[in-house]
Amino acid sequence: MEAREKCGVAAVSVPGQGASPYLYRGLRALQHRGQESAGIVTSSHGRLHDRRAMGLVHEVFNRDTLEALRGSTGIGHIRYSTRGTSTVENAQPIILPTHDGGLAIAQNGDIVNYQRLRKRLQADGVELVGNADTEVAGNFLAMEYENSRNMEAAIKRLMSEISGGYAFVMVHGDKFYAWRDPLGIRPLHLGSIEGGYMVASESVAIELMGGTPLRDVAPGEIIAVGRTKDKDGELVPTLRPLKGMSTGERAYCMFEWVYFSRPDSIVNGTLAYEVRYRIGEILAREARPDADLVIPVPDSSRPHALGLAQASGIPYAEGLIKSRFVERTFILPDQKRREEEVRIKLHPVPGVIKGKRVVLVDDSIVRGTTIKEIIAMVRGAGASEVHVRVGSPPIIAPCYFGIDMKDRRELVAHERTEEDIAKLVGADSVRYLSMPGLVEAIGHPEKSLCVGCLTARYPVDIPQEHRRLQTTLTDYHTETPQEDTIQ
């Protein structure tokens, strides 16, 4: 529960209505993916309207600001910075000029080789104001578009240059585009609504925007939603799914199921809640503790704990109460404040815990500071033993694809055994889910998952790290767009 999340993106095109209220609802549904800044850009007859600011979605937008965002096509973004500093200049979407009007672009994830592209752009005289990879990608697209006047070709060119885990949304003219990295590391979902279309980082955002989730955007796929005249001469949104780039390989981030996505989201075809429940069942099989009570670390570990309780026969109890009005721990800037905030955010129920052998279930442990505080709190409330069961294998290596786990030295499981970790965090025992158990719970083969932070073997080339899937960027192949594939 300590990992800092990435970002969330959404895009909408609806006939005859403003896009901004939909995007507002979608971003609120994705708020758990980032709480530093929020932004929406809409397009009205090719003219862009934007608002970006630091803060939560409901702090950044109100009725007046949403009404000022005119146009029935738009994109939105919420951010937790994983690249670039946390300032409003790096808030997204970012806008760049082209001869056919501005383009606005936003991203979830990280481009691992963006510095190379950045140097090339600078050598070509492009001025970059921030230090985020999205700005580099946007400038590259704008430059390519000026050369070819073909945005789909420009996106493909960008995809052939970059490597990493990403999901982009972009608006240009009256069209929006969305595309996902060739291995599908970062999620992106497509939905329909009232004669229009939408995409979002999670299916739940599509539902909360009032739409119907249709399917995942395929790894490497480009979605283009434009406008054509219907039989009555009205301009209506039309969907063109385009083959972008794919090696046929997959590397879905296992953490989307374990923790990042909302439990009510369908991630790459599987409901996150079901995976988490199965993880609990498998933990009961692999590491059933001798205990009186199963207690989840709320909120994200509830399904894991329920699965463990039901499969083990150990009673489930809500022994930790979470304050509803404290922001998520990880957004606080320094370690000391983070530790203090754990105590403000969670409070043990003394009558439930006193004299009991407790199993605390957490979905994951990154630095170990949060669980250490919680264990001390549970012991303080009278637990006679505290055992910890973790819903993922140990995190031993950094993430390079948009999750803030950058430094091995910060990771409690790096070069430590379960016994070492138990001693360090003050638990009677700590047991992690096994890798086969994780793969079984997710239901996709291990070769289709990114498990880089668990194994230090990554799906794409990372200098100084082992590579397990992609060999070179030239392994990707581009394909001709399918003309007028309208669904």
CA nearest to 305, candidates 316, 313, 291, 320: 316
Is 275 an interacting residue with respect to ligand SF4 (CB under 6 A)? no
Residues 183-212 binding ligand SF4 (CB under 6 A) are 185
Helix (H, G, I), strand (E, B) or coil at 100: coil
C-beta of 184 vs 263, nearer to ligand SF4: 184
Cα–Cα separations (whole angstroms), residue 88 to 36, 56, 65, 84, 306:
9, 13, 17, 11, 41
Cα–Cα separations (whole angstroms), residue 158 to 164, 296, 384, 472:
12, 43, 58, 15
C-alpha torsion sign, points 168, 169, 172, 174: positive
**Residues 238 and 227 sit within 8 Å (Cβ to Cβ):** yes
The correct pick among 165, 173, 220, 307 for binding ligand SF4 (CB under 6 A) is: 165
Binding segment toward ligand SF4, per CB under 6 A, in 50-58, 227-235, 305-313, 398-406: 398-406
C-alpha torsion sign, points 62, 68, 72, 75: negative
The correct pick among 422, 453, 460, 469 for binding ligand SF4 (CB under 6 A) is: 453
Please, what is the minimum distance in Å from the beta carbon of residue 454 to ligand SF4?
7
Helix ranges restricted to H, 30-78: 57-60, 63-68
DSSP letter string, 346-373? EEE-HHHHTT-EEEEEES--SSSHHHHH
Residues 223-262 binding ligand SF4 (CB under 6 A) are 253-255
Catalytic status, residue 453: no
Interface characters, 23-52, with ligand SF4 (x: CB under 6 A)? ------------------------------
Please, what is the minimum distance in Å from the beta carbon of residue 186 to ligand SF4?
8
Residues 293-352 binding ligand SF4 (CB under 6 A) are none
C-beta of 192 vs 455, nearer to ligand SF4: 455
**Residues 460 and 450 sit within 8 Å (Cβ to Cβ):** no
Please, what is the minimum distance in Å from the beta carbon of residue 169 to ligand SF4?
19
The Cα–Cα gap between 173 and 37 comes to 25
- Per the residue annotation, which of 7, 253, 399, 450 is the catalytic one? 7
Please, what is the minimum distance in Å from the beta carbon of residue 198 to ligand SF4?
24
Is 399 an interacting residue with respect to ligand SF4 (CB under 6 A)? yes
Please, what is the minimum distance in Å from the beta carbon of residue 400 to ligand SF4?
7
List the catalytic residues. Answer: 7
Instruction: Give me the residues that bind ligand SF4 (CB under 6 A), please.
Output: 165, 185, 253-255, 399, 401, 403, 450-453
